[in-house]
Amino acid sequence: MDGNSSVLTSQQVAKILQVHVLTIYSYIRQGKIRAVRLGRSYRIIPEDLMLFIDSNRIKKSTNRKTK
């Protein structure tokens, strides 16, 4: 990890994603967001958060039916 990288807390990630921190804990337990456990708290690398966001991006549907 280079000197310019930082880590995010679960609370910071929850604020970024506009969800409750318990949702972030659930995502971590499910393996949806990669995290490092330090003592009793988690730290998330910003690149891992971006991977999570990209993997949950809604894809544009081309199979739309018309009436």
pLDDT along the chain (67 residues), means of 10: 75 98 98 96 97 92 70
Q: What pLDDT score was predicted for residue 20? A: 98
Burial class of 38 by CB neighbour count within 10 A (0 to 12, 13 to 18, 19+): exposed
CB 10 within 8 A of CB 28: yes
Structure confidence by residue, pLDDT tens digits, 22-35: 999 999 999 999 99
Q: Tell me the domain boundaries of the chain.
A: 8-53
